[in-house]
Amino acid sequence: MHIGIVGYGSAGQAAALLLSRDGHRVEVFERVPEPGPVGAGFLLQPVGLEVLWELGLLDPALSHGARISRLYGETARGRPVMDMRYGELDPALFGLGMQRAALFSLLDAAWQEGRVLHAGCAITALDPERAQVTDAGGRRHGPFDLLVVADGAASGLRGQVRAARMDRAYPWGAQWCLVPGQDWRWPDELRQRYVRARRMAGMLPVGSRPGDPVRRLSFFWSTPAAAFEDGEWQGEAAWRREVAEVWPEAADAVRVTTLPAGLAQARYRDTVHRRWFCGRTVLIGDAAHAMSPQLGQGVNMALLDARALRDVLRECRDVASALPLFEQRRRAHVDIYHFWSRWLTPLFQSHHDRVAGMRDIGFHPLTRIPGLRAQTLRVLTGTRRGWFGRLPLSAPFRQRLLQLATQGPAADAPRAVITPSTPAP
């Protein structure tokens, strides 16, 4: 098929690579003239790692990323609020902290065959039935056999595919930056500190990236969205003082960051669509299901969407039957994360002091109850499907993880492993 993809973020990149490898003719439209990663770092869960493994990119990802074995959060006074270890669910499992630039480079370098990337080409309109797009210069592209819209959380195109049932900005967002990670005390943990729900500081080891061997940490500082407005910046001294009050070690790590220029800002959206497709056009990634990053699943979802789209195109005779199947399969996974991220976000980012007080008292003991603990771990690892189901990892992939877990970091040396989950047509 001739497939058009709008957006070259994680979802668009993975879709371009997977669909090209299946022999489709792929054209990508990206509005940025020099496509590159946006944002600092993120945590890849086992379900996302499985997609990289299928693409033969697991080992290079491991050689750059930082393996994470524990997610730990506490109040500024040192009271534990969350303490989760991947190994408690399955000794083979771990997360991988990565710099966005590392994942971007790996996916970008892997997509070479038949590569057609229109950079600096913003799409302003589309016709979902004809699978045709119009760019900012008024030029038409297509019609395609399939049009994939992957233009991210702030998508300006999703409404032209389907009207959203809900599309709202969260009142809170985050400031973030990358800092050098040598001497950091917790190199294999995502750690967070909370002051009620008004402040949340996070530090995630994210390893290195191609061309830069320095292993880094991604710092996350929760902020009301209004603070992003002009004139609301509190000033460098006050900002550093506040970070130090919440978490002295983190304040020390970010002392090299120039302020405010070195801080990136992110806002999140909560978007729900009744349908993710119309005619021969389909939404994937944040364009289909933007959610708060509270559960750290967005990149994983983007990778899983791309793989699911490839799989239904292999299985179905035509696009008309493939797209409903794609939505049905992915919704069963995405919806529960949408639900939990919507309900958990105010516990960690809001002015609700009383709710945060209950969180501080109750969250940790609740998640230590054996049955509930396994459920919580399932949600965190991305392997929850619906309320009680599981998204299983394939046996060979789990075996590979187990091998890595027992052999240790020496096994992380790059080695291509390409094992498609379903046969090519």
Q: Of the candidates 271, 65, 39, which has an alpha carbon nearest to the alpha carbon of residue 175?
A: 39
What phi and psi values does residue 410 have, to the nearest 5 degrees?
-60, -25
Collapsed DSSP state (helix, strand, coil) of residue 318: coil
Distance CA 27, CA 12 (A): 10
| Site size for ligand FAD (CB under 6 A) | 36
Q: Is residue 279 within 8 Å of residue 161, measured between CB atoms?
A: no
Q: Which stretch binds ligand FAD (CB under 6 A): 35-43, 237-245, 250-258, 338-346?
A: 35-43
Shortest distance in whole angstroms from residue 36 CB to ligand FAD:
9
Q: Of the candidates 174, 199, 176, 181, which has an alpha carbon nearest to the alpha carbon of residue 252?
A: 181
Quick one: 119 or 163, whose CB is closer to ligand FAD? 119
Sheet with 2-6, strands from edge to edge, namely 117-119, 25-30, 2-6, 146-149, 281-283, 277-278
* Torsion sign, CA atoms 188, 45, 103, 247: negative
Determine if 152 is a binding residue for ligand FAD (CB under 6 A).
Answer: yes
Distance CA 51, CA 225 (A): 33
Shortest distance in whole angstroms from residue 40 CB to ligand FAD:
8
Q: Of the candidates 6, 212, 36, which has an alpha carbon nearest to the alpha carbon of residue 107?
A: 36
Q: Which stretch binds ligand FAD (CB under 6 A): 181-189, 224-232, 290-298, 357-365?
A: 290-298
Site mask for ligand FAD (CB under 6 A), range 122-151, x = bound: xx--------------------------xx
Determine if 4 is a binding residue for ligand FAD (CB under 6 A).
Answer: no
Shortest distance in whole angstroms from residue 21 CB to ligand FAD:
18
Q: Which stretch binds ligand FAD (CB under 6 A): 30-38, 231-239, 314-322, 417-425?
A: 30-38
Q: Which stretch binds ligand FAD (CB under 6 A): 8-16, 253-261, 340-348, 392-400?
A: 8-16
Determine if 15 is a binding residue for ligand FAD (CB under 6 A).
Answer: no
Query: How many other C-beta atoms lie within 10 A of the C-beta of residue 36?
Result: 11
Q: Which of 239, 268, 276, 397 binds ligand FAD (CB under 6 A)?
A: 268
Q: Which stretch binds ligand FAD (CB under 6 A): 27-35, 233-241, 270-278, 413-421?
A: 27-35
Determine if 270 is a binding residue for ligand FAD (CB under 6 A).
Answer: no
Q: Of the candidates 23, 11, 3, which has an alpha carbon nearest to the alpha carbon of residue 146?
A: 3
Helix (H) or strand (E) holding 310: helix 298-315
Quick one: 10 or 132, whose CB is closer to ligand FAD? 10
* 159: its two tokens: 């409404």
- Contacting positions for ligand FAD (CB under 6 A): 6-12, 29-32, 39, 42-43, 122-123, 150-153, 156-157, 174, 176, 266, 268, 285-287, 293, 296-300, 302
